[in-house]
Structure 1
C-alpha cells in the first residue's frame, strides 16, 4: 500500500473527530463555524478541510482565496515515500463541486526525491470526506 492510498484511508475516518463549535478561553462562549468565519469561501468546507487533513502539517491557509497548503509528510508504513496536499475551496456555497483536492507524491531514490503518480481516486476520496464533514458541521448547527 503506498502513502497516498494510506493517507486517504486514514483521513477518511478523521472527519468525525472534531466538533462543530470552536471554543475560546475558559470564559468565552462557543461560536459556531459560520459566525466565526470571515473568509470569502464556504465556512463549512473550510473547517471540514482543516479537520479532514489535520494529520498533515499545515503550511499556509488563505480563507479569502480559499487555498490551504499542506507540507510533505512521510508515514512509517510507506518508507521512501512522502505526500502533500493542496485544498481549493471554489465556492461560497456548500456544493459538491465546491472543493478540489490535489495530492502530490514523491518517492526517494538514492537520496533524491522524485515525483511519482498518485491514484486519482485519492483526491476524490478526500473531497468526499471533506464534503461529508462539511454537511455534518452544517447540520449540527441547524439542529
Structure 2
C-alpha cells in the first residue's frame, strides 16, 4: 500500500511539472527576424495605407471599415506572375491576397546555387508599381546552403517580365472580344 502511495505521489509530481511548462506567459522576443518576410511591402503590413496585414490585404474595406471580401488583385498580373514563375515549384498561391511563394529552384547550369521568389500583387490596376518581387539566393558551401544577397536586377527583371506577360494577356483578351 505504501508503494502505491509513493507511485501515486510521484505521478502527481510529474504531472504538475509537465503542466507547469504550459504557462500562458508570452515570450519577450516577439520580433523574430525572418528573411523571407523582411521585404514584405508596406501595403501588407499593419498600418499600411490599406489598413490591413498579410491576412487581410486584398480584401478591401466597405464604408464601415470592414473587410468587403472582394478580390483586389489584377487578374492579368496574377496570371502573368504564375506564367512567368512557372519554371519554379510553387509553395503557395493566394489569389485573394495576391501572394505567390515559390520553393527553392536550382538552375541546371549551376547546381551549387538556388533561388526562391516571393511575388506580391499590390493593386487591381495593371501598373508598374502593382507588382513587387523578392528574390532569395543561396549558394552551397561545404555541403550547406548559405544565404547570399541576390542581384537586385534579378527581381527587377522578373517584375519586367511579369508586367510584359500581363500586358500581352490583357491585349489578347481585348482582341478576343
Q: TM-score, normalised by structure 2?
A: 0.58
- CA offsets, 1:14-63, max 9 Å, x none? xxxxxxxxxxxxxxxxxxxxxxxx73210000000000010000000011
Q: How many angstroms apart in 1 are the aligned matches of 2:163 and 2:108? A: 28
Aligned residues: 106
| 1:60-71 correspondence runs (5 A) | 60-71=92-103
Name the counterpart of 1:93. 125
- CA offsets, 1:58-115, max 9 Å, x none? 0000111110000001122112111110100000111110001111100111111110
Indicate which of 151, 158, 163 corresponds to 1:131. Answer: 163
Name the counterpart of 1:55. 87
For the pair 1:45 / 2:58, whether they are aligned, the reply is no
Q: How many angstroms apart in 2 are the aligned matches of 1:128 and 1:96? A: 8
Gaps of 5+ in 1: 1-37
Indicate which of 142, 148, 173 corresponds to 1:116. Answer: 148
Q: Residue 117 of structure 1: CA displacement?
A: 1.3
Question: Greater strand percent: which structure?
Answer: 1
Give the secondary-structure state (helix, strand or coil) at the position aligned to 1:108: strand
Q: How many angstroms apart in 2 are the aligned matches of 1:137 and 1:103? A: 24
Gaps of 5+ in 2: 1-69
Name the counterpart of 1:30. none
Q: How many angstroms apart in 1 are the aligned matches of 2:78 and 2:119? A: 9
Moved over 2 A (4+): none
Q: Which has the higher contact order (CA 8 A, sep 6+)?
A: 1
Structure with larger Rg: 2
